[in-house]
Amino acid sequence: MKAGFSSKFKLYSLLGLLLFAFGFQLTCSTSAYAAEAPVRLAVLPWKVNAAPEHAYLRSAVTDMLASRVGAGQGAQVEIVRGDLVEKAIEAYPVAARTESYGKVARKIGKAAGADYVLYGSISVLGGVVSLDATLLDVNEGKTTPLSDRGENIDALLGMTERMAFNIASTMTGVDPSENLTYTGRFGTSDGEERAATFSGPGGGPGGEGFFRQSTKSGRKFGWKKNFNDFAIAMELGDLDGDGRKEGYILTRTDVIVTKVGANGFERVARVKGGPEVRNVSISAFDSDGDGKQELYVSRLKGDFADSCILEKTGGAYKFTSCGLPYFVKAVVIEGDGPVLISQGFRRAWGFSRKLYRMERKSKGFKKAGRFKLPKGVDLYDFELFDLTGEGENNLVTMEADRRIRIYIKKGRKWKVDWTSPDKYGGTLNVIELDTGKQQGDVAKVVKMRSKMLRTDLDGDGLPELIVKKNEAGGVFGDRSEHVRQFKSGTVRSLSWDGVVLEENWRTKEMVGYIADVLIDDTDGDGISEVMILFVDGGRVPVGSGRSTVVSYIFSGS
């Protein structure tokens, strides 16, 4: 039973990678032709020749492919809506029942308004995996057979790359391995839009047109650094007290330590978390006032909170203390400075109700008092600063519905003063709870939201709120209770105009999932850099995955 589940999980997940590659290649290959009408692709249900436990793959093909490619992302390949495809197929009941579309595929494509039709089969026999597909040009009637074979499920990764290349080349006539050029747009506070063009091998940030030049240092701002890991969060901290901050990338199990230089984050160490560890967040905080920050790594070990302190001692980065039975977060409170806040967590029920301020004593940490928040607001849902510019701190939250709320203090209680009509945030940093598993219900999850930042990048004296906004993928998008994939994301600057939060600017749209954002002057030239951590593919990968940190200067002029 366990082996069957493992095989099912592997095949399902690797199929997701296959279909992501289809979508990514198709998107990238056509992005240079923004002026042309999109090519419409109808994806028919794939036939599964395998044991009954793999029957779920029949619908997974269309669902996953539809979630990766769409005209809404500026892509020039548009997936025909599933209901239109189903309606077209209904006219051919024999083909629908047998999932054999060869003789009627062109008619189905025309009825669905498609330029191309993709259909095929996945076979799993004796551990050998075969992919057999047909790409049909509806207008000309030409078919392109596509097939590949692997000795085991793991071979699907290589099969993915080869088949994706062939599909992209056939539909667009463009070699997807070429050095492509992309154009993105960002809004400004005066309501206008500006375009930014950049180039890079295989796409992605990295060109001079997208990044700005520092007039003080002469160094070209704009670097990117790839990590072959699924990254959850990032932080900057000075653990050795030399006045220069290091960069820290948090993966599901480890902490990657980097030196921040002219070329970005250069890896210098990796601190492993050990077995049964699931990391959640990181915060830099100087708890004893010695000028050296500690890195607080909130994590689960098994079913219980087991957070650690990472320090640099004896020239090495290591965990000096573990076993803290709560998650922790450093919060900078205007007028009060940074404080360390804790909240208990167990996989059996999620967060505890009470939060506490923490103080570090000679014998460990001690609760220094309750930290009261409105009901339903947990450790990773809030920041505390003066956002409205009225001289009083606001409680700024992003709760389960992904809407920003601004609270004001009324006596001893927080009261909601404003709620955003739009949704922001979006996270893949999710912990599945044990609740409901024994009854066979869908497991409940707790979403760990990333930080919101208060800054003044344009120097006008008015506070800005920096948030990410990930666009949900999948068939149901934001309507899904648990979004498992994001198709793109942007970083946005918002300011309070006395009535609402108004958007000042936004970054270009990034294909994938934005995990975290930092703003800091990493080289001491007085100019802040915006650093964005995003995950290729927009979903939790089967293997290590790949994440990228990009940095650039924002200029309000």
- Mean pLDDT, residues 487-496 taken together: 91
- Checking if the pLDDT of 5 tops 50, the result is no
Q: Which segments within 7-102 are labelled E, that is strand?
A: 39-43, 47-49, 77-79
- Checking if the pLDDT of 65 tops 80, the result is no
Domain boundaries, the chain: 39-172, 221-553
Average pLDDT of the residues of the chain: 77
Confidence category of residue 177, pLDDT binned at 50, 70, 90? very low
Contact yes or no for 28/199 (Cβ under 8 A) = no
Other beta carbons within 10 Å of 257: 22
Confidence category of residue 318, pLDDT binned at 50, 70, 90? very high
Q: Are strands 277-285 and 264-272 parallel, antiparallel or unpaired?
A: unpaired
- Checking if the pLDDT of 284 tops 80, the result is yes
Joined tokens for residue 371: 């930290």
Contact yes or no for 111/138 (Cβ under 8 A) = no
Rounded Cα–Cα distance for residues 16 and 19 (Å): 5
- Checking if the pLDDT of 159 tops 80, the result is no
Rounded Cα–Cα distance for residues 138 and 154 (Å): 33
How confident is the model at residue 178, as a pLDDT? 40
- Checking if the pLDDT of 489 tops 60, the result is yes
Q: Taking the model in full, what pTM does it have?
A: 0.62
Confidence category of residue 195, pLDDT binned at 50, 70, 90? very low
- Mean pLDDT, residues 64-77 taken together: 46
How confident is the model at residue 14, as a pLDDT? 54
Higher pLDDT, 45 or 474: 45
b/e per residue 179-193 (b: at least 16 CB within 10 A):
ebebebebbeeeeee
- Checking if the pLDDT of 487 tops 90, the result is no
Higher pLDDT, 490 or 212: 490
- Checking if the pLDDT of 196 tops 50, the result is no
**Which CATH number applies to 39-172?**
3.40.50.10610
Contacts of 222 (CB under 8 A, 6+ apart): 205, 206, 207, 208, 210, 211, 212, 550, 551, 552, 553
* pLDDT per position as a tens digit, 78-103: 778 888 998 999 999 888 887 788 88
How confident is the model at residue 153, as a pLDDT? 57
| DSSP of 329-379 | EEEEETTTEEEEEEEEEETTTEEEEEEEEEEEETTEEEEEEE----TT--T
* pLDDT per position as a tens digit, 418-435: 999 999 999 999 998 886
Joined tokens for residue 253: 């199990």
What's the start-to-end Cα distance of the chain, in Å?
62
Contact yes or no for 182/31 (Cβ under 8 A) = yes
Rounded Cα–Cα distance for residues 62 and 23 (Å): 12
Range of lowest pLDDT (64-68, 231-235, 416-420): 64-68
SS3 string, 149-198, reads: EECCHHHHHHHHHHHHHHHHHHHHCCCCCCEEEEEEEEECCCCCEEEEEE
How confident is the model at residue 330, as a pLDDT? 93
Rounded Cα–Cα distance for residues 284 and 281 (Å): 11
How confident is the model at residue 452, as a pLDDT? 93
**According to the per-residue pLDDT averaged within each range, which of 15-29, 119-133, 252-266 is highest?**
252-266
Confidence category of residue 211, pLDDT binned at 50, 70, 90? very low
Confidence category of residue 324, pLDDT binned at 50, 70, 90? very high
Q: Torsion over CA of 483, 343, 371 and 413, rounded to 10 degrees?
A: 40
Rounded Cα–Cα distance for residues 280 and 268 (Å): 22
Confidence category of residue 288, pLDDT binned at 50, 70, 90? confident
Higher pLDDT, 476 or 377: 377
How confident is the model at residue 166, as a pLDDT? 65
Q: Which segments within 46-178 are labelled E, that is strand?
A: 47-49, 77-79, 116-125, 128-137, 143-150
* pLDDT per position as a tens digit, 537-550: 888 876 678 898 98
Contact yes or no for 318/311 (Cβ under 8 A) = yes
The candidate with the shortest Cα–Cα distance to 489, out of 519, 469, 517, is 469
**Which CATH number applies to 221-553?**
2.120.10.10
In the chain, how long is the greatest CA-to-CA distance?
Answer: 78
Rounded Cα–Cα distance for residues 385 and 454 (Å): 7
Q: How many CA atoms lie within 13 A of 36 on its CB side?
A: 13
Q: How would you classify residue 190: left for phi > 0, otherwise alpha for psi between -120 and 50, otherwise beta? A: alpha
Nearest 5°: the CA angle 524, 528, 532 is 120
Instruction: Please state, for a pLDDT cut of 90, what percent of the chain lies above it.
Output: 36
**Which helix (H) or strand (E) segment is 63 a member of?**
helix 57-68
Joined tokens for residue 334: 């205007």
The candidate with the shortest Cα–Cα distance to 455, out of 352, 361, 330, 332, is 332
How confident is the model at residue 222, as a pLDDT? 65
3-state secondary structure of 114: coil
Confidence category of residue 506, pLDDT binned at 50, 70, 90? confident
